[in-house]
Structures are given as C-alpha cells and as structure tokens.
Amino acid sequence: MKVTFKIWRQENAKSNGGFQSYEVDGLTDDMSFLEALDHLNEILVGQNQKTIAYEYDCREGICGQCGVFINGRAHGPLDNITTCQLHMRSFTDGQTIVVEPWRAKAFPVIKDLVVDRSALDNIMEQGGYISAKTGTAPEANAILVGKDVADKAMDAAACIGCGACVASCKNASAALFTAAKINHMNSLPQGKQEAHRRVLEMSRQMELEGFGSCTFTGACEVECPEGISITNIAEMNARRAMAKWHNL
C-alpha cells in the first residue's frame, strides 16, 4: 500500500509552520496509522532528516495522549476512536492523507503535530477532585450508590482527556471535557459537598483558558473516543444555573 502524507511541520512554538508531502510505500492494511508514521520516520532517519514529532503513549486508546487531525477530522475518518486505534485499512491505496495538529487557541503548537493541552489540566485543578485526605475514608459500603447512578457517573468519567472535542468544535469549546468531569463527580454522593463550588470554578477556569463557548453543534460527541454524550453539556449548564442560584 502506498499513500501520500501531507503533514504539518513546524519547528517550534515561535516559528511558522507549513505542509510537507511525503510519499510512503510499503504500508500494509493492518498497520495502525501511527505505525505508518513510525515507518515514515524511519525513512526520514535513513535520509538524515529530522523526524516528525507526534504524540502517543499507550497505543490502545486509553491514555489520551495521541490525537491529530486527519483529512479534516479529529482522530481520522471513523467515529469515536483515538488516532492510535485507526488502521491503514481505513484508507485506500494512493490516497493523500492530510495530517494537522489540533487547532485551538488554547492548544498552542509545540512542534509539528504536538500541541500543549495543559489548559485541560488547569481546568481539572480548579475543583476536578473530591477534597478528602488519604486516611479519612469511611467504610466503602457505607456510601451506597445505585447502579444507574454509578453507571451514569462512569459514562462521564470515561473521558480520556485527548482534546478531540475541542479540536472538532468550530468554537474550540472545552464544554464536553469540563461537563464530563463535573457530572461524574457531582452525580455521586461523595461529590455532593463541593458540587456548587466545583461547577462554578471549573467552568470559570474553562473560560479563562481561552476556550470558546458551546453552541450545541454536536461535533464533539461524534469524535469523542468514549462517545460521551452532548447531553452532559446541558446537564452542566443546569448544574451551573443551580449553583449560581444557590450562591445568590
């Protein structure tokens, strides 16, 4: 299998970037997309050129570190997967594949396809936790959580923090990411004590980081590798209204 990669190259955060094309032969259907890029990088080393920088770690769709725009879609042509779960069988022989970094003001490019997503950590820092010191916990079954409540919390908690929701959104909104964490914690009894504070502080930080507002286009949930539903955003907004009312 042979394809042409058209890849965004950018030396560092300060320099201007641009696309470069690479014809790559010797690929197979069952190679993952990232393995195809690995293959290209080995060719580049053979030509004494600098390799292309892109991110990955677990390569099984859970760490959230990989993520690039492929032919105009976050994580490539399939719905609800990570870049590392994409295989070359999703492309055709001779196809041109355009690869870009996440595009969002809050995610500045560091190099080539690598962006800085620490804005997401900053949102988490503003209350994406339950304040409980090690050693203070009551007996686990003393806190009862109904199966439907636990399942719903788990649906939201499944977020891997890859940033595809932000990258797919025309407003570069982090609403789905933020909502998922808020709803996970606020729906559980353990998270209730700080529920109002959490929703207000995390959503304020989301705005401070330079993410856009949500206009409910639904683009995010299509690309979310965990299929986290956009209804989470509506739920977060309702929680925020409640919290504001509560704090009046």
* Contacts (CB under 8 A) with other proteins, residues 114-133: 114, 116-118, 120-121, 124-126, 128-133
Whichever of 23 and 29 has its CB closer to other proteins, that residue is 29
The nearest distance, CB 206 to other proteins, in angstroms, is 15
- Is residue 108 a contact point for other proteins (CB under 8 A)? no
What residues have CB less than 8 Å from 161, skipping those under 6 apart?
Answer: 64, 117, 120, 177
Whichever of 129 and 216 has its CB closer to other proteins, that residue is 129
Report how far residue 155's alpha carbon sits from residue 184's, in angstroms, rounded to the nearest whole number. 8
Cα-to-chain-centroid distance, residue 62: 11
Size of the site for other proteins (CB under 8 A): 79
Q: How far is CA 200 from CA 29, 123, 186, 203, 239, in A?
A: 47, 11, 12, 5, 9
Q: How far is CA 110 from CA 9, 14, 102, in A?
A: 11, 8, 11
The nearest distance, CB 137 to other proteins, in angstroms, is 4
What residue type is 234 in one-letter code?
A: A
Binder to other proteins among 144, 245, 247, 248 (CB under 8 A)? Answer: 144
Give kind and range of the element (H or E) at residue 70.
strand 69-70
Interface positions, 150-209, toward other proteins (CB under 8 A): 150-151, 153-154, 157-158, 160-161, 184-185, 188, 190-191
The nearest distance, CB 67 to other proteins, in angstroms, is 11
- Is residue 92 a contact point for other proteins (CB under 8 A)? no
